[in-house]
Amino acid sequence: MWMVELSPDGDLLVHEAWPIIETEGVSVDGPCLRPPGLWLSDPLAHAETGLIVDPDVASSALAGPLPRIVAIRFPSFTDGRGYSIARRLREHHGYRARLWAVGEVLLDQLHLIARVGFDAFVMSERPDLRVIRRALARYPAVYQTAADGRQPAWSLRRSNRAA
């Protein structure tokens, strides 16, 4: 599995994805992702551990202190609940740390994943960065405000008319 990180300056960084540890008592050398129960039960590992949540996570589980990395699982490419969780984390809970999309993430979804505030996504095959750049730039105009801060087309038109 490969992690593609979207840096603030528009660069793409690729590295091996962190392992997901879902069983108590399993240790790994290095960083990993753990579900809420395991993450909360091992306070000593928090510096090197990210939280992975499923799309049916309760909002209350995301309201408290969160680690520097939260990964949201996409169990299938047709399940869009991860987008809503990301938006709630960014807009309602003020989460500013790293947000990753893990699971069934397709190239067609990368534009939306970046718009709602994800910083990175995991792919099963080593990514071709040219293809990823094209997918991220697929839509030059946007029509809504979002976590990515792009100005919507209606706002640009209004600004142009005022000038």
Give the residue-averaged pLDDT of 119-129.
89
Give the residue-averaged pLDDT of 61-84.
87
Tokens of 45: 């590992």
Torsion of CA 93, 95, 99, 104, to 10 degrees: 0
**Higher-confidence residue: 66 or 99?**
99
Q: For residues 100 and 117, is the Cβ–Cβ distance under 8 A?
A: no
Backbone angles phi, psi at 14, to 5 degrees: -120, 135
- The whole-model pTM stands at 0.84
Range(s) of the domain holding residue 95:
2-162
Percent of the chain with pLDDT over 70: 93
pLDDT of res. 42: 64
Whether 45 has a pLDDT exceeding 70, the answer reads: no
Enter the DSSP assignment of 8.
T
Number of domains in the chain: 1
Check which CATH number belongs to the domain holding 19 and give it.
Answer: 3.40.50
**Angstrom distance (rounded) from CA 41 to CA 14:** 30
pLDDT of res. 43: 54
Give the residue-averaged pLDDT of 18-22.
88
